[in-house]
A = this chain, B = another copy of it.
Amino acid sequence: MALLVQKYGGTSVGSIERIKAVADKIIGYRKQGHDLVVVVSAMSGETNRLTALAREIDPEIRGRELDVLLTTGEQVTIALLATALKMQGQDAISYTGGQVRILTDDAHNKARIKSIDAENIRQDLAVGRVVVVAGFQGVDEKGNITTLGRGGSDTTGVALAAALKADECQIFTDVDGVYTTDPRVVAEARRLDKITFEEMLEMASLGSKVLQIRAVEFAGKYEVPLRVLSSFEEGEGTLITSDMNEGDDVEQAVISGIAFNRDEAQLTINGVPDTPGVAFQILGPISDANIEVDMILQNIGADGTTDFTFTVHRNDYDTALKILQNTASELGAREASGNNKIVKISIVGVGMRSHAGIASKMFEILAREGINMIMISTSEIKISVVVEEKYLELGVRALHDGFDLEGDENE
């Protein structure tokens, strides 16, 4: 007898058959006595179809009218799912973001939720209805339709769970949980039963694309227990929580998982005069070109100069390199160079805080395989290294094995 907020993504509601299957699943939860608020995305392909239509008119469409257009996608799904539930005798009602009402700021295409009026939903739940809410969308104070940006349906789910003080927010997706690493790279990768919000944030931002970062941040901030499950298979999934109980802690591995990101490229400028403001002089033009910078390293070099290295998305490599070469000549630096055949591998775990020697163990494992590290960067609960692309699989497998992640926790 819990209050659950469930979110089903575009693939889970991608056809009439799948919508009916989701209705069956929901009714199963109802039969266990749970109250349910269900957040849905647009049917898979629909958002792309609508965007393509709009781009025939304005190839760079954004702003208010794009939100008016795209929000129709989820509106279609809520009507169909509520209908499917009612056809099976389960009373249900659909709400658009504006109807709930999910109040956002007026930043069209990337709005942020300011408040949620949960009163109507509570009344519906009280009379036994399943409440179906359109994800990804809200309304500003003037009544304009807004969207939260791609993947915003996860955020809608978490925000609703927080507003309703739900027992759990369950994100149904096409994977059955969060893994120690990508099973396509390491066959022994293991589904985690639990992971902390902090770890999940590091995993998500490092390329493990199970959940939207904003949704995890939101869940952590409001302490909404978040669970990732499969829409298509049975299973407990992975619970993301701040509440790791004692028993878990004792058994808990020091490292929770290994994330990696293939889309990296590295840029270096050597022999820069080491004066105050030099970092800004280097990164300012990169940022002006709307290029996002990921890792940043600065080392003191010889003779009062410094070496400065950073990574960008691989798609931005060519542009960034040109800008950097320009900057190098302006600053009188020795040279600007780069490498777009690199990847980032990271180990993540809250256990690092209390265990010394994790970094040196990581470096030892990689050295044993003959893998050279180009960059190293650390935070409280993760250590990232940049290596040549060809070492990705070897490195991830060696670390997964070296930190004993395969285990049999779920057997």
A281 sits at the interface (CB 8 A)? no
Using A57-B84, A58-B84, A58-B86 as known contacts, list a sample of 7 further A-B pairs with CB atoms less than 8 Å apart, ordered by residue number in A: A57-B80, A61-B83, A65-B79, A65-B86, A68-B75, A68-B96, A69-B79
B69 in contact with A57 (CB, 8 Å): no
Q: Does A208 contact B (CB under 8 A)?
A: no
A58 B87 Cβ-Cβ under 8 A: yes
Q: Distance in Å from the Cβ of A12 to the closest Cβ of chain B?
A: 16
Looking at the complex, which of A48-56, A287-295, A306-314 is the stretch in contact with chain B? A48-56
A78 to B64, CA, bound (A): 12
Most buried by B among A19, A78, A98: A98
Bitwise, A59-78 to B at CB < 8 A (1) or not (0) is 00100111011011001101
A285 shortest CB reach to chain B, Å: 31
CB-based contact B98/A80 at 8 Å = no
Q: Which residues on the B side are within 8 Å of A183 (C-beta)?
A: none
A66 / chain B contacts, CB cutoff of 8 Å: 79, 83
Q: Is A16 an interface residue (CB 8 A)?
A: yes
A78 with B83: CB separation less than 8 A: no
B residues less than 8 Å from A58 (CB atoms)? 83-84, 86-87
A20 at the A/B interface (Cβ < 8 Å)? yes
Say whether A284 faces chain B, with CB atoms less than 8 Å apart.
no
Which of B61, B78, B83, B99 is A57 in contact with, Cβ under 8 Å?
Answer: B83
Question: Which residues does chain B contribute within 8 Å of A53, judged by CB atoms?
Answer: 16, 76, 80
Q: Can you list 13 A-B contacts (CB < 8 A)?
A: A50-B76, A53-B80, A54-B80, A54-B83, A57-B83, A57-B84, A65-B82, A65-B83, A68-B75, A68-B79, A68-B94, A71-B75, A99-B144
